[in-house]
Structure 1
Amino acid sequence: MSSPGSDGGSSTEVPPPTLLKAVRERLSAEPLSLVCLRCGFTRTTTPGRYGAEGGSRCRLCRGSLSAVLSPKRTDEIARLSRYAQAKWRAGRSAVPEGRRRRRPRAPPVPENAVRAGYTSAELVAHFGERALYALAARGVGPETARRLLQRLYRNDDEFLTEILRAERHYARTRSFWD
């Protein structure tokens, strides 16, 4: 019979405080791109600087929904930014007197990219800095972050333990993703 936690998947396994501190420091220094879903303005921040930089509010339009992406995903950032800019321009165009305003058409962007952007933006709007820590983790996307954030944690160490567990799960199953 094996001891509890020997397979790495035991739910009672608690990482040492030094490991949790290292995870917190790594995640707080992880760069993230915030894309405003109202005007398309993009900025880079880290979970550690997030609060000091004004949170998720856009510096250009003061919008509160900002999608969170890895800066390495430049194509997806550019597409999401163009999508938001087209919506912004279409919504702000002047309508001649007596004419009905047409519904603005958004540029074609893969549905999954837009959905993931809105999901991450809603998580940041609702959970704040904690959502950024979850989204900064390796292999944790918006859906996994939502699942992690919906649970109740007694303290930040329990939350970081779950993030670490999700990262380990991703590392184990990464070869099966593509």
Structure 2
Amino acid sequence: MILEDHTVIISVSFQSPGMLVPEAFEHTPGIQTASLGTYLKTNLFLFLSALGFYLFLRLLSIDLLWSVPIAKKWCANPNWIHIDTTPFAGLVRNRGVLSGLGFAINSEMFLMSCRGGKSYTLSFRLLCALTSLTTLQLYHFLQIPTHEEHLFYVLSFCKSASIPLTVVALIPYCVRMLLKQRRKKIQ
């Protein structure tokens, strides 16, 4: 389609990369059937291997955070440099998501709400999607204090773990209970 200002918009027939991740996870049975212990062991392995790699590089006098002091020194406004862009912050976020997903998939709420025929109804899926999108916007507004580094990492882990726990387990459970109450009132 060509707009008035000659901007070309191309309709793409394949899904965006963000949509490919859940599609791949849906067809990977090990993710949905892995025990909580497997998730926690994987999480611990990733953390220890990243920490080991970081310490090994430090032993070789290679600093992975070499750009942070330079950026703070030469940046016009040092407040523009955020702690959440460091490699360790990314590792903490990923570990939080993995832990939250492990707890969510192995929770009783997930098992009650997403295993069975009722989870495939259109109303269930739409309510879950709309509630999840709204909740994710609320998470986006939740700002983590960056003045204390250790506190930032702990809160970042907790926030990252709570997101999949909320979206995968809590929201479907609440929607299922809501629809169940509604059906009881109708009958």
Q: Same fold (TM over 0.5)?
A: no
When you count strand as a share of all residues, which structure comes out higher? 1
Compare CA radii of gyration and give the structure with the larger one. Answer: 2
TM-score (norm: length of structure 1)? 0.27
TM-score (norm: length of structure 2)? 0.27
